Structure 1
Amino acid sequence: MAFPRPGLLRLVLRLQLGHHGRPPRRSLGVSFWDVDRDTGGKRGSKDMGLVPSIVPTLHYQDSLPRLPIPRLEDSIARYLRAQKPLLTADQFRKTETFSQDFQRGLGRELHNLLTFQDQHSQHTSYISDVWLNSYLGRRNPPAFNMNVGLAFHPDPKGEYNNQLTRATNMTVSIMRFLRAFRMCTLEPEVLHLYPERTDTDVFRRFIRWIPKPFVCPVAAMFDVYPMDMSQNFRLFGTSRLPKLGRDTLLTDERAKHLLVLRNGNFYIFNILQSNGTMIQTSEIHANLKYILSDKSTMPDFPLAYLTTEKRDTWAQLRQELLANGNQEALKKVETAIFSLCLDDLLLQDIDHFSQIMLYGNGHNRWFDKSFNLILTKDGSAAINFEHSWGDALTVLRFMKEVFRNSTEDRAVQPQQEPAATDASKAVRKLHFHLNDTLKAGIMNARANYDASVQTFSVKLVQFKQEGKSFLKQEGVSPDAMIQLAFQMAFLGLYGQVVSSYEPCSTAAFKHGRTEVIRPTSIHTKKCSLAFQEPSKHSVAELKDMLHTCSTYHVQLIKEATRGQGFDRHLLALRILADTKRGCLPNIFYDSAYSQLNHSFIFSRHLFNPMLNFGASMPIVPDGFAITYLVQDDSITFNITSCSKYNLQDFIQSLKTSLEKIVVVLKGKSITQ
């Protein structure tokens, strides 16, 4: 059921682009904003841990609007606009011809077929399976290509930042979240445009009685916009299983056990009872203390390295594992509610923390789990999540609830003695039977992992001159200026205008995933080139270029937020052409299409009150991945690279680019 959503658009623009206005309780978009709520005290009892919602968790789900399929003409026009700054005049004419031929011919046929299929799949979106299969079909190791790391803030009470204490408290809070979701008492993910009017119990009592088929249109009348929550069921009991050609997802909602990794060893214990309730927190505490006190050394052949291997290689070795009598042990790993990784590591610095949460030490992560909760020896906590099943918006909301509950309604206290229980009977250490083929496979995976680590670099930096407040004051989008600075930095270093990629959530639609914002445009190219030779332009001219870039970036965000980008649409058409026709039309064979999809700059804007920082892997081997957080008076960047490019040089070029933008916005000349 489609309906107008002008309020949603206004809300996203306020958050994404730095426009003035009171922030809502929830939001989405490029930056996955999520503003904290004043709870007025404790979140709930020790039993539930989370305040039961007046509105059932999935009350809105069935009546969410469906993700629209863009008009073919619009997608082709947007595609050509994205291509223009990357191509010479001759290259562009060739690409334009291919695109127009596609639009008039096979593209129209494929688009009609896609529309027909979508009309007969009202329960989902046209991109849901396409995007999932696209992820699962990638053959590179997720650990160094797709998985995302997100770091929690420390517990505000320092004495609780102890590995055992914090691991227990966070594990209990995760189980409270799981129980609340399964009992439909978790508060729905909802955007309130005017929270002072609708983020109230009065509105909730009203909306819960609206019949499900009509609840989203009625909520929209009050400027309330629910988000898709279908990804939440994959949070728990889920693993990505390696298969030849394309992986699959396994989710076991009946699983009752927790997987704990320590020093490359695997431990499990039942954390849910037969009736689905959680065991006593004192038992969890005792079981984790028992695991931490185990003196077992790292195995000679640490099995977890296999999840860092290329997917087809891992798929073959998994079959060997099963054939060698490891079915039951492997099933316990893959169906565990989640993976808790207890590292015997002390943080050296913030960049070391980024390395730990992104790729760890190889032997103490099961990178195929939906998420790994990582706890270092000093109690620093992070999430590493596998990306095929879900997106950052789902994980950030989950992290917010877990952090808040684990620091406001703590299950155990520092120095508290665990229960007098025989944890050795509850905890089971898993053993795997390894033949020579498996041993050789593990050692080869370890060597490949070590080689990947050697090429990887990460650096967290902060730009402290100005931030969101100044950019808003100057009437430009903070996100637009940051994206422009990325392109200016790359151009200044390497003399190239390159493809860039910024994801935008489409969770406002049923089974929405993400759309792509393509920040590189003819406007950013013109502006970047002008800033290379600022003496040839007046300050007013440069400032006007900045505003033009901002205006165009706003347009791109509007389109992506409405599901009106072109990347997902063309991807769906390309897959249809391949499966139905067995061959691809010229538009997809065109080198320009490959060039556009080779995104040297991949960036992700994150904000969450409970998030310390995040980090992503580059999506191409020779590119950069940048996660950034925009504060009122500063901007924090976490930049990763696996390429020959010098990371420190890029950082310096980025800082210089931002400084130039700030100088011009202040009406001053750039000093060469």
Structure 2
Amino acid sequence: MRRAKPPWGASMLRSAVSCRQYWKTVGQVEGIVSEQDTDHHFVHRSTIPTMHFQPSLPRLPIPKLEDTISRYLAAQKPLLNDQQYRNTVKIARDFGNGEGKIIHRDLLEHDRNNKHTSYIAGPWYDMYLSSRDPVVFTCNPFISLNPDPKPEYNNQVVRATNLVVSALKFLNSLKNDYLRPDIYYVNRKWGQSKMFKYFIRALPPTVSWYGAYLVNAYPLDMSQYKSLFNSTRIPNLSKDTLFTSEFARHLLVMRNGHLYVFEVLDPFGNILHPSEIQAHLAQIIFDADRLPSFDLSCLTTEERNTWANVRQQLVQKGNEENLKKIDSAIFCLCLDNASPQNEIELTHCFLHGYGFNRWFDKSFSLIVTSDGNAGINFEHSWGDGVAVLRFINEVYRDSTEHPALLPESSPALFVTSCDKLEFNLNHSITCAISAARTKFDETLKRFFVKSLKYEKFGKEYIVNKNLSPDAVFQLACQMAVYRQYGKFLPSYEACSTAAFKHGRTETIRPTTVYTKKCADAFIVERGKHHIEDMRNMIDECSKYHRRLQLDATLGQGFDRHLFALKYLVQCRGGNIPDIYNDPAYKYINHIIISTSTLSTPAVNYGGFGPVVPDGFGFGYNVFDTWIGCLITSYLEQELDEFLRCLEYTLNDIFEVLEERRLN
């Protein structure tokens, strides 16, 4: 295929007028044309500028050291026997009353000197980028989009074109400060009123957050959005780096492992005509399917130091320009030659694929299968689920409500060829690629995904019982663990701290003295408690879990604080305090039960791999009338047994909520 020319051809003016006329017609049909006739380039135009609240966002608080110690010990209590707990209490108290005070004081001072960010942002980036584990299976999560509600739009090229155009509209909205800021509204109706929007817009950015706060609206941090596009994690020895290009206008497309690029934006941000994007994608599929698979991208599944060394060899062999095109591309579109038949096969597809049709280092990859199923796989170091989920929501809504391409549309007849990236390889590089592919395939043989769809109750039922849906599912997980293993295991639930400037995440520890009391009553002391007492135990678990959620959301957990204190000591080269060498601290941070949930109309489900070799990765969702979860693990038999115990436990909870005695 020939090298691509700029998509507007020889006469930019003539093409621009032609494209403008096309979009004007579309806009008139949809009733969305603005006075300037450019809304087709944006998902919307917000009255409040995108980054209006950033300067006045509150800073992530550093908890009091005594509170952190108390929360830490509360989380340890159900995991340890009496002797272990007494030992951990002594170590933790000594730390809190001794050297911990000095380190905490230094952390506060460091935070005061860096008011532009949060105390956790730098250490958290370093934690991700310093990890030498492969990003696939271990780090990169996936999110599966719902199909387009109109079946005829689920053709692979049609859906990919519509999603690409909507993604570019999102990018343009972000770049031009038109994207609505992320705001949590207590009263959404008031927050969407013109009075609120114009009032907030009139406020200077330095005080805008306070204006929103006065009417119970809470803006969220949007600093991560700058890394959503044109970004890649670059492998380096010891520690990777994040690269972002401000000016690149091309899309990276992968098919059968082959890599192609073509420009989808002109210098003014105008989006390439959808029929031309359609033609390019059809051309790529036709070209790649005639070729044997190309396994170069398997290198992105490697251990990071190994990949860093091979990448340097690629540069030395004259491939630097191609690597720059990959790194700077707006995002990666993966056109898979596969039609997964169920959610298990889709999970395998979106989480890891076949290894050779993904560039796992890209900030995110949009994956579209042969039958039009779509999902996102994203690299985790640059940001968290909040930014990715917002992007997915906007792109799904725009692509389904205002599709750029109709199913009966024909591809443009005259388009320039895409630029197919050709690489110079030597024996050492080809051997490294082969080794990476072998490692990937061996890992895949040991990697299992199972699902559960529980239909006896869902969110509506739980809320009607005045309980937290998330708390009920987490309680069920804890009791399932207890039923299977006879003890509790270190568990983790992710919680965003995006309410603060440069907030990342905090940990909710769902294993508590309340879940232990409940598990004992349901399992060890089965049949010895009145139904009213067991219902009260569930209520206690729900209330305490809500408190943990609120604390974590407000930056009042213990995990990030202890992590930052340790990071500060390590940076200064000091001796690691005893609290971090305590076996109990190491155990609680060996996360065997790692969980995360998301809920939005655009998303079908999501998931991720276990974070430790003997662990489980839970992606779950409590829908209105049912509960669904996808669980990953390298332990097939334990995984099957866990699902059995989880369903059994959910049945027990249902029986108690229905005021029926357990058998």
The change in CA–CA distance for 1:392 and 1:196 in structure 2 (over 3 A counts) is same
Aligned partner of 2:520 in structure 1 is: 529
Q: CA contact under 8 A between 1:46 and 1:411: conserved in structure 2?
A: no
Query: What is the alpha-carbon distance in structure 2 between the residues aligned to residue 518 and residue 343 of structure 1?
Result: 38
Q: Is 1:471 the counterpart of 2:471 in the alignment? A: no
Query: What is the alpha-carbon distance in structure 1 between the residues aligned to residue 528 and residue 291 of structure 2?
Result: 63
1:440-455 matches, cutoff 5 A = 440-455=431-446
1:19-418 matches, cutoff 5 A = 47-297=40-290, 299=292, 302-418=295-411
1:435-514 matches, cutoff 5 A = 435-514=426-505
Q: What one-letter code is carried by the residue in structure 2 that aligns with 1:518?
A: R
1:421 to partner: Cα distance: 1.4
1:297 to partner: Cα distance: 4.9
Aligned partner of 1:33 in structure 2 is: none
1:540 to partner: Cα distance: 2.3
1:42 to partner: Cα distance: 6.4
Q: CA contact under 8 A between 1:502 and 1:604: conserved in structure 2?
A: yes
Query: What is the alpha-carbon distance in structure 2 between the residues aligned to residue 193 and residue 422 of structure 1?
Result: 50
Q: TM-score, normalised by structure 1?
A: 0.92
Q: CA contact under 8 A between 2:275 and 2:409: conserved in structure 1?
A: no
Judge which range, 642-651 or 372-381, deviates more.
Answer: 642-651
Query: What is the alpha-carbon distance in structure 2 between the residues aligned to residue 155 and residue 296 of structure 1?
Result: 26
Q: What one-letter code is carried by the residue in structure 2 that aligns with 1:582?
A: G
Deviations 1:180-215 (A, max 9, x none): 100001111111111222211221111100111111
Query: What is the alpha-carbon distance in structure 1 between the residues aligned to residue 126 and residue 584 of structure 2?
Result: 24
Query: What is the alpha-carbon distance in structure 2 between the residues aligned to residue 43 and residue 152 of structure 1?
Result: 25
Aligned partner of 2:659 in structure 1 is: 667
1:158 to partner: Cα distance: 0.7
Aligned partner of 1:10 in structure 2 is: none
1:296 to partner: Cα distance: 4.7
1:300 to partner: Cα distance: 6.3
Aligned partner of 1:626 in structure 2 is: 618
Deviations 1:26-73 (A, max 9, x none): xxxxxxxxxxxxxxx867666224221111111111101110000011
Q: CA contact under 8 A between 1:265 and 1:299: conserved in structure 2?
A: no
Query: What is the alpha-carbon distance in structure 1 between the residues aligned to residue 333 and residue 267 of structure 2?
Result: 22
Deviations 1:336-361 (A, max 9, x none): 11000000001221210111000011
1:530-569 matches, cutoff 5 A = 530-532=521-523, 533-569=525-561
What SS is found at the alignment partner of 1:374?
strand
Q: Find the partner of 2:414 among 410, 415, 421.
A: 421
Aligned partner of 2:570 in structure 1 is: 578
Query: What is the alpha-carbon distance in structure 2 between the residues aligned to residue 467 and residue 267 of structure 1?
Result: 44
**RMSD over equivalenced CA pairs, Å:** 1.4
Return structure 1 stretches of 4+ with deviation > 3 angstroms.
41-46, 295-301
Q: CA contact under 8 A between 2:256 and 2:288: conserved in structure 1?
A: no
How many residues get paired? 629
1:642-661 matches, cutoff 5 A = 642-661=634-653
1:270 to partner: Cα distance: 1.2
Q: What one-letter code is carried by the residue in structure 2 that aligns with 1:247?
A: D
Query: What is the alpha-carbon distance in structure 1 between the residues aligned to residue 31 and residue 234 of structure 2?
Result: 40
Query: What is the alpha-carbon distance in structure 1 between the residues aligned to residue 306 and residue 274 of structure 2?
Result: 40
1:479 to partner: Cα distance: 1.2
Q: CA contact under 8 A between 1:150 and 1:357: conserved in structure 2?
A: yes
1:433 to partner: Cα distance: 1.1
Query: What is the alpha-carbon distance in structure 2 between the residues aligned to residue 444 and residue 485 of structure 1?
Result: 41
Q: TM-score, normalised by structure 2?
A: 0.93
Judge which range, 510-519 or 267-276, deviates more.
Answer: 267-276
Aligned partner of 2:6 in structure 1 is: none
Query: What is the alpha-carbon distance in structure 2 between the residues aligned to residue 113 and residue 653 of structure 1?
Result: 47
Aligned partner of 2:423 in structure 1 is: 432
The change in CA–CA distance for 1:435 and 1:381 in structure 2 (over 3 A counts) is same
Q: What one-letter code is carried by the residue in structure 1 that aligns with 2:119?
A: Y
Query: What is the alpha-carbon distance in structure 2 between the residues aligned to residue 311 and residue 599 of structure 1?
Result: 22
Query: What is the alpha-carbon distance in structure 2 between the residues aligned to residue 269 and residue 221 of structure 1?
Result: 47
Q: CA contact under 8 A between 1:264 and 1:298: conserved in structure 2?
A: no
Deviations 1:288-319 (A, max 9, x none): 11111115555565111001111111111111
Q: CA contact under 8 A between 1:259 and 1:339: conserved in structure 2?
A: yes
Q: Gaps (5+ residues) in structure 2?
A: 1-29
Deviations 1:546-591 (A, max 9, x none): 1121121121112111100000000000111112143211000111
Q: What one-letter code is carried by the residue in structure 2 that aligns with 1:90?
A: Q
